Amino acid sequence: MRAVPSGVHGAGTRAWLAAAAVAACVAAPLTAAAAPVPGTTARPASASVPVSVPASASVQAPVPASVQAPVPASVQAPVPASVPASGPDQAAAAACGSTNVALGRPATASSTEGPFGAASAVDGDPGTRWASEFSDPQWIRVDLGSVQDLCRVDLSWEAAYGKGFRIEASDDGSAWRTLTTVTNGTGGNQSLEVTGSGRYVRLTGTARGTGYGYSLWELRVFTGDGGTTPGDPIPGGGDLGPNVQVFGPDTPTAQVQAAVDAVYDQQEADQFGDGRHQFLFEPGTYPVHVNSGFHTSISGLGTRPDDVNITGGVWADAEWFEGNATQNFWRSVENLAVTPSGGDMRWAVSQAAPMRRVHVKGNLMLHSSRYGWASGGYIADSVVDGQVRAWTQQQWYTRDSTLTGGWAGTLWNMVFSGTENAPPTSFPEPAVTTLDTTGVIREKPYLYLDGDDYAVFVPAHRDGTRGATWDGGTTSGTSIPLDQFYVARPGDPAERINQALDQGLHLLLTPGVYETTGTIEVDRADTVVLGLGYATIVPTAGQTAMRVGDVDGVRVAGVLFDAGAAESPSMLTVGTAGSTADHADDPISLHDVFVRVGGAHAGRVDQAIVVNADDTIVDHIWSWRGDHGDGVGWDVNTARNGLVVTGDDVDGYGLFVEHYQEYNTLWTGERGRTIFYQNELPYDPPNQAAWNHDGIRGWAAYKVADGVTQHEAWGLGSYCVFTSDASITSDNGFEVPVTPGVRMHSLLTVSLGGVGTYEHVINGVGPRAAGTETIPAKVVSYP
């Protein structure tokens, strides 16, 4: 094993290592997606669906309300009860019913100021109003009595108006769907056309337009009983789009090689570009060498990995970055076998680069050909016949696999669970942590060929797992034909995707960048959301990008969320805050879900991934506030938390959470379990004063809330490199309640080149991490 040299060299120095320790990495130029290579095949042979331009969800600004301070209702001029519809589509407005179905219905609110209760906003009296407390967020909702088709919501604001708010609907008052989002409201009278249905309609205010609260004279709701008719059903299935290339065993080898080379030439160094690519190999043998660049997925279409054999090799190296693999992100290989022509498969990667369901018929090299640093990584449900050689890898998590030839090379944090022939636990030296089994887990869904047709296989959830699901047998689960999926294309608006989901279809996101102005709402039990080729969702209206209801068995897999310039509450929210619904028999699961805040462009989010639902499986995430690229800076790509868990009995396997400005991970639910955690603290606090709270220096990387009584975690590492002020100190890398039911194992903190300090590892325990030698501070167990 190569010794770690003194100085800065870790994952935390990704923005430094290419040239000099003080120069930030220059982002790769943005490029358009590559055109498909002529001659590649696509299955099934259905007509391509033209890419549509997303419909705008922007709201026409009404006449501004008075900017004077609000005065009592008794002296305020009332707003006329009749509010005309506005907007360019007068025909659509005319088709909406004219009856205010909210009139006199039961209404509730998050808060009330004085005598101005929620019922006053639905009483039909233009001189009475609802008013909230002076804080964000606030909401008012009305119960329509039954599920109804909704087409318009009219608002009559008092002077204390909402600048930012959402109109939401729910069938049960628990799982909410966003109908429209407003980020630049100016008060007065607003008429908002909406599409959707629900029994409950809620206005949720996210940004007040004044220093007061929210205040509504009237909230009116209109339905489609005035002549609107539902649209035609959205069909399932279809073409996978121009960024999916499918190869069969009869495709000429030269043609396959040319296709994969053309994409790699574009994607090798295009870290933040718009290119998204998926290679699919039908069962057969392929004597080609497949290099993997950014935003590229390589997958087999067999029922078992050995149905597809790449006999040249699958390769991820770091020549584009002079052998340094600490920025080899966003690429994957799944469901195939590799028989490397030279005996070695190289997968020199860092975060968001999973290897799943792969049979390596040779050795597996996790370092670059130049032995530069790497900051990976993740393997699951795989078999390696030869030896795995990690050498310059800083950390790695291997789950439910077989390493026939063993493992060589340990640097800071190597973790194994349910892995046959893994090295035994030897933490702190060498830093290996091994668990015999994993626990409750479900493997990621994957696309495959069921005869001549595409289908998605959904593995069943298991407990006490060990080894690959397919090694010596078949993977248990269910198959869903592609015609039961809405096959989405970039340009599809959230409203159409939600219509398809409401109709009962699953969701397949073909490769590309999806800019949306609405929240994608997944409210049906056992819905599968599967992204191909790093399909990327960008919320552009300050909304949550995707919300999963508190229902059984939803799977979200293979999706990259890229925060937009307007701050979103979250990128992905799972379940409803405060819910106690039991999903133990059919857990919700997340697989290869990635978040990016800055890097490609300026982005903002409050809490990136929020898990409220009990019994959720979080199977490999990378939640990343950008430390290099475009749109990064302490006051630019703002983001408070990377992962927040409020649900009980949530299991986390392979959690990578980096650079957030407060607690990177905040866990308030009971009986949480984490196996492997990798973190870097934010690089860019301007000084210590800007990064303190409650008399504590800094924010812990992983915080278990004080009231939690049961929690357990294994193999946790946190690294710091404070580029603006090397004197900044974090008092603790980890903070947990001191109680017998909270147990932590194999923890370490690292000061990268002495650029910053950890005073202790956990709760005032453990040595100081400081100095240019970059020696980890370790705690074997706590308490």
Backbone phi and psi for residue 741, each to the nearest 5 degrees, phi listed first: -80, -5
Extract the tokens encoding 448: 């495959």
C-beta separation of 277 from 258 below 8 A = no
Q: Which residues of 131-169 are buried (b: 16+ CB within 10 A; e: fewer)?
A: bbeeebbbbbbbbbeeebbbbbbbbbbbbbbbbbbbbbb
Distance CA 333, CA 592 (A): 12
Cβ neighbors of 695 (< 8 A, separation 6 or more) are none
* Tokens 């358009």 found at: 32
pLDDT of 752 reads 97
pLDDT of 22 reads 27
List, edge to edge, every strand of the sheet that includes 477-481: 446-450, 453-459, 477-481
pLDDT digits (tens, 9 = 90+) for 58-70: 333 332 333 333 3
Extract the tokens encoding 93: 């407005």
Distance CA 479, CA 486 (A): 16
pLDDT digits (tens, 9 = 90+) for 282-308: 999 999 999 999 999 999 999 999 999
Per DSSP, the three-state class of 495 is helix
Per DSSP, the three-state class of 225 is coil
Distance CA 289, CA 653 (A): 31
pLDDT of 106 reads 78
Backbone phi and psi for residue 212, each to the nearest 5 degrees, phi listed first: -90, -160
Backbone phi and psi for residue 191, each to the nearest 5 degrees, phi listed first: -125, 115
Distance CA 317, CA 330 (A): 13
Counting every residue written for the chain, the total comes to: 783
DSSP, residue by residue, 555-608: EEEEEEEE--SSPBS-SEEES-TT-----TTS-EEEEEEEEEESBSS---EEEE
pLDDT of 400 reads 98
C-beta separation of 456 from 446 below 8 A = yes
Is 268 designated active site?
no
Distance CA 158, CA 116 (A): 12
Q: Specify the pTM.
A: 0.75
Cβ neighbors of 489 (< 8 A, separation 6 or more) are 49, 51, 52, 241, 510, 512
Cβ atoms < 10 Å from Cβ of 250: 8
pLDDT of 231 reads 59
pLDDT of 98 reads 77
pLDDT of 91 reads 38
Maximum Cα interatomic distance, the chain, rounded to a whole number of Å: 85
Cβ atoms < 10 Å from Cβ of 747: 30
pLDDT of 49 reads 29
Pick out the chain residues at pLDDT < 50: 1-94, 226-230
- From the list 680, 735, 759, 773, the catalytic residue is 680
